[in-house]
Amino acid sequence: MLVKKAQPLPVECVVRGYLAGSAWSEYQEKGEICDVKLPAGLQESAPLSRPIFTPATKAEIGAHDENISFGEVGRLLGEEWAEKIRAISIAIYERAQKIAEEKGIIIADTKFEMGTVDGRLLLIDEILTPDSSRFWPKDSYRPGGPQPSFDKQFLRDYLLSLNWPKSPPAPELPPEIIEKTREKYLEALRRLTGTCL
């Protein structure tokens, strides 16, 4: 493995094609996501007319990322870098979404982490996995509520059902929750690649 030490950018590059998760909550409250105005009357899990870039802060370990505006990204990185990471993020999402849909999976949203090495922009973490993307089965997709998924939403939902203050240490996971999460990840792998571990 070839490894390079990168300087991480202080933002996460989130691209959304559907209205879900924290974007749904923010839309219900404000009618927009990260200062991107959206039409009134959209349903949960509705497709957006085009993918949108909804960046977030890169929080310290144990803290939670917070959605920020594109203008804030420009202030943090400079307008040229902000434009560059937005364009690259949306282009990767659109290409991946097209490939995944052909395999029966909707990529509702995803995030990328980027950094620099010697002034060059690089992706510095995994991309398009059930950890960084929301994968929905296309054959059962119905807007208007939460969707079945092949990603970590199952685990998030389990943790939300607990009386846990969302700060370290995290609760120990029961074996059945670990196994069910594993099954969802493997199903995403099988559908996308045709193979399984």
DSSP line for 50-90: EEEE--EE-PPTTS---B--HHHHHHHH-HHHHHHHHHHHH
Looking at residue 56, its pLDDT comes to 93
- Residue holding tokens 């420009």? 74
Say what percent of the chain tops pLDDT 70.
Answer: 96
The 10s digit of each residue's pLDDT in 46-84 is 999 999 999 998 766 555 678 899 999 999 999 999 999
* Bridge partners, 53 (sequence order): 15
* Side-chain-side CA neighbours of residue 17 (13 Å): 22
CATH 3.30.470.20 fits 7-193, yes or no: yes
Torsion sign over Cα 142, 56, 192, 184 = negative
Tens-place pLDDT, residues 142-157: 999 999 999 888 888 8
pLDDT digits (tens, 9 = 90+) for 6-56: 999 999 999 999 999 889 999 999 999 999 999 999 999 999 999 999 999
What count of other Cβ atoms lies within 10 Å of the Cβ of residue 70? Answer: 18
Quote the pTM value. Answer: 0.88
